[in-house]
């Protein structure tokens, strides 16, 4: 965790989270509150990135996790009407490397 930053909440999911068709995604995120800017946070997490889908940092402006298209996933530590200042989501996406994963009906 960077200096001047604390973790507030976390969430992890597996299932059909974005797009359409077969398959499933894996998603993990932490909600942080930080005195650092988004650029400073991005620079910190840049060292941990393995690909374009890992350790992404965005401003979090409500309890709803907007990068997940299917369903209404929220951070439970926040109230729906709470005004968020200096909150950020740090998240990772993943998918199966199994060659027939697009045929897995559990991803619907």
First to last CA, the chain: 35
**pTM (global) more than 0.85:** no
pLDDT at 107: 46
pLDDT for position 2: 95
Domain ranges of the chain: 5-96
Residue with tokens 């409500």: 62
In this structure, are residues 26 and 95 in contact, taking their beta carbons and an 8 Å threshold? yes
User: Tens of pLDDT along 16-58?
Assistant: 776 666 667 889 999 999 999 999 999 999 999 988 889 999 9
């Amino acid at each position: 965790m960077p200096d001047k930053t604390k973790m507030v909440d976390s969430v992890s999911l597996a299932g059909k989270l974005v797009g359409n068709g077969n398959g499933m995604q894996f998603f993990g995120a932490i909600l942080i509150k930080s005195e650092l800017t988004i650029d400073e946070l991005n620079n910190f997490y840049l060292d941990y990135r393995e690909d374009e889908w890992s350790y992404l940092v965005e401003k979090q402006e409500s309890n709803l996790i907007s990068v997940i298209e299917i369903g209404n996933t929220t951070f439970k530590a926040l109230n729906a009407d709470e005004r968020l200042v200096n909150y950020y989501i740090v998240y990772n996406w993943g998918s199966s490397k199994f060659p027939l994963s697009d045929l897995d009906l559990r991803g619907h």
